[in-house]
Structure formats: C-alpha cells, structure tokens
Amino acid sequence: MRLLVVEDDPDLNRQIVAALEDAGYAVDRAFDGEEGHFLGDTEPYDAVVLDIGLPKMDGISVLEAWRRDGKAMPVLILTARDRWSDKVQGFDAGADDYVPKPFHMEEILARIRALLRRASGHASSELLCGPVRLDTRSGRVTVDGAGVKLTSHEYRLLSYLMHHQGRVVSRTELVEHLYDQDFDRDSNTIEVFVGRLRKKLGVEVIQTVRGLGYLLSADPA
C-alpha cells in the first residue's frame, strides 16, 4: 500500500512517515499544499494524510481540487482546529476521516487501516484467503495458523493482493502501489517477489493470469 503524507511541520511529517513505513507502507511526503496537490493529482495513492493548515495552498483547497478531478483515494485530515465548523468543512470538501492535533500515532495508524479496509470492501482487520491470514493490526501473516516471516516488500505485495483479492492486479499497478516515489522501480522485481511469496506461503493462492497480472484467490485456477 502506498500513502502520501502532506504536513508542513518537518518533525511531525518525519514522525508520521516513519511510523507508516514501520507499519509496512510505502510513503511519499510533501511539505506544502502545492506539492501535495501535484503528487496526489499525478500519483496513485491508496490513502492520504493531509494537514489543513498548509502553506502555498491550504488543505481544504487541495482536497476540493482532488475531488473535482475525480481523485477518490481516502483522505484523513489533520487539524489543530477543534471547532465543529472546521470538521464539517473538511467532510464537505471530501475528507473521509479526521484527527485533531495533538494525537497519538497509534490512532493515525488505526484510522489509516480502517480507511484502507473500507476502500477495498473489508470490514475486519484480519484479511483471509483460504488458509492465509493477514492481521493488519499486527502485520502478522499465518498459513493454517503457523507464522510466516516476510520481508517488508513481500508483506506489501501480499497485503495489496489481500486487500484486492478476487481481482486481477497488473504488474504496473503493483509497481505503482508498492514502491515510493524514490524507489528504482522495475516491474521484473514483482515477479521475483511473487516467486518468493509463493514459496514462503507454501499454498497455491496467487495465480498468474497470462498477459494481465496476478489474482489472489482461494479457489484453484
């Protein structure tokens, strides 16, 4: 899963990005509204953490512009304001959730998990595909109850496929959603990670759909 953090406070931006990366996400960052708007308009993010009080272009204007352009990714707004009218303005602009400052980082992580689940149609924090179980809260992966140790890239790949199981996901889509902006992207590496993931899981749940991509399904092809 690939996220964008738009926050002008350097320390807070760094803290949020670090927490999200530690939780297994690929994260891009922006420090003002113009840069954030450009990234959100040109890159495919699974969710965005957006501060309202931004220089150059305020967060509400950024969000309104994204929604006018048809950008539907979930957006969690951060605000130092606690007036109900500001919250209403954020929701009316297209926000999906909000967190007032100051906040606990665990709350940000929990709300992001919830937004990602809802966006992909999942109600539970535990994603299941046959004997494979992924707990989005702990990042733990099990097969028939036995723990499976994955690298960060393998976990991102499995998490994305689990969130979108039953749908064919192209290599291009995986590259766009698994790696941050600075990563040296190569679609061939996806095949390598898929191979490693299949070997570690030990069950046939990742199908290759020739010419299209990959399908995660508990039903054999």
With contact defined as beta carbons under 8 Å apart, do 108 and 51 qualify? no
pLDDT single digits (tens) 70-86: 999 999 999 887 677 77
Give the whole-angstrom CA distance, residue 90 versus residue 96. 9
Whether the predicted pLDDT of 221 surpasses 70? no
CA–chain centroid gap for 151, Å, is 17
Whether the predicted pLDDT of 213 surpasses 90? yes
With contact defined as beta carbons under 8 Å apart, do 94 and 75 qualify? yes
Q: What is the DSSP letter of 169?
A: B
Using a pLDDT cut of 90, give the percent of the chain over it: 72
pLDDT band at 220 (very low <50, low <70, confident <90, very high): low
16: how many CB neighbours lie within 10 A of its CB? 25
CA–chain centroid gap for 138, Å, is 15
Per 3-state DSSP, the chain is made up of helix, strand and coil in percentages (nearest 5) of: 40, 20, 35
- β-pair type (206-209, 97-100): unpaired
Instruction: Name all domains of the chain by residue range, CATH numbers in brackets.
Output: 2-119 (3.40.50.2300), 126-216 (1.10.10.10)
Which pLDDT does position 184 carry in this prediction?
Answer: 61
pTM: 0.84
187-201 vs 152-163: helix crossing angle, rounded to 10: 90
